[in-house]
Structure 1
């Protein structure tokens, strides 16, 4: 029953997103950023910075639907209720008299996860959204109260070029809560180089030297912000 209900919710959410995107396509420029937040949605995150090099303070927002229909009962481990309300990422360019929608993404993880009810909100810890040195950064933090000893962080870095936000960097690290072992991976999509680090330990100095290995990506990736599915785990190879 839960899976059927979730399927219906996802269909409803996709339809709602289609209608919202269609409305934005007709009116992409609005005076204040609040005008881009639909009725019954709320603002979760807001950061400011110049993203297109014009000296104006652009905005990046994360918004969330507040429909009570997307709050479902959980009979498994974890929270007794799961908030499956969809979230959106909006990037707004600052214009002289208004804001203009520059990009959006419909694939952010929700607060709750029906498949992993013990998973904490991936956007609740750390810096989920940032603009630094003209780059847009989205960070996800994965921690489960049951079923896994690992804590994993993902950081996606985007740069505005060729009229779109391109994924230029991806960083991840895994921490084992029992052993303290840490592994890290950093990808530069512009050069295709991958830096992998192992041997670090959170609790004590490692008995083994930290090992750093440089490799090259076998595949080429060219992803725009709209294409990246933050609610899925990528294995860039």
Structure 2
């Protein structure tokens, strides 16, 4: 089931930089004028937006290439105010046409809001849509989300996520990994060993969590 086209205006409230969040949410990603199907990603990129990153792969195991992309306002540059990042997933079909199958404009940090290490990207591995985001400077946050397409629901669901909060100078940090399919969360504390050139786990804890798989559209910023 495709997500409703007429009722979708994504306003992204971003809190990374106090005092700028109001201006950030003024930038809206409107799906209303977009086609229900198209032949290229450009057909689904609204006027005033551009593709920041994209990847191809089979997301629904039908042997046809699909597309995942991160879109940002095209007017956002190194001197402009921050603008939202929108994740968009398209499923390929017969005749080389694509249709929208999932989106989210609320869990990725806005452009120019993530510090000097700011970066984001998408990839598809073994049918899983993987989204990465790195923010911060000396103290940083590295996050990964994994989504899988559910053919029965015709929607993408979150099956796992990882987060690392670290100190690049001290080489220490905390990691947490959620697996919503198995219902477990693993938390670790680590330090970097320069002599061995690898991370050393100082403490680890495994806990049960509810086996919940939120829809892509419902995943929010932590």
Which range, TM-score by smaller chain? 0.7 to 0.9
SS of the residue corresponding to residue 38 of structure 1 reads coil
Aligned residue number for residue 60 of structure 2: 52
CA distance in 2, matches of 1:137, 1:194: 18
Any conservation in 2 of the 1:110–1:121 contact (CA below 8 Å)?
no
SS of the residue corresponding to residue 142 of structure 1 reads strand
CA distance in 2, matches of 1:90, 1:209: 36
Q: Deviations 1:193-232 (Å, cap 9, x if unpaired)?
A: 11122244253459x8643321112x55431111112xx2
CA distance in 2, matches of 1:101, 1:121: 31
Unaligned runs of 5+ in 1: 72-78
CA distance in 1, matches of 2:116, 2:159: 27
CA distance in 2, matches of 1:60, 1:153: 20
Q: CA RMSD in A?
A: 2.7
Report the alpha carbon displacement of residue 9 of structure 1 after superposing the two structures with TM. 5.0
Aligned residue number for residue 83 of structure 2: 85
Rg larger for? 1
Q: Which has the higher strand share?
A: 2
- Alignment of 1:111 with 2:111, yes or no, is yes
What is the TM-score normalised by the length of structure 2?
0.78
CA distance in 1, matches of 2:21, 2:46: 22
Aligned residue number for residue 187 of structure 2: 196
Q: Which has the higher helix share?
A: 1
Aligned residue number for residue 180 of structure 1: 171
Using CA pairs under 8 Å that are at least 6 residues apart, name the structure with larger relative contact order, 1 or 2: 2
Aligned residue number for residue 96 of structure 1: 94
Aligned residue number for residue 33 of structure 1: 41
Unaligned runs of 5+ in 2: 1-16
Any conservation in 2 of the 1:135–1:157 contact (CA below 8 Å)?
yes
**32 and 131 in structure 1: CA distance in 2 versus 1, 3 angstrom threshold:** same
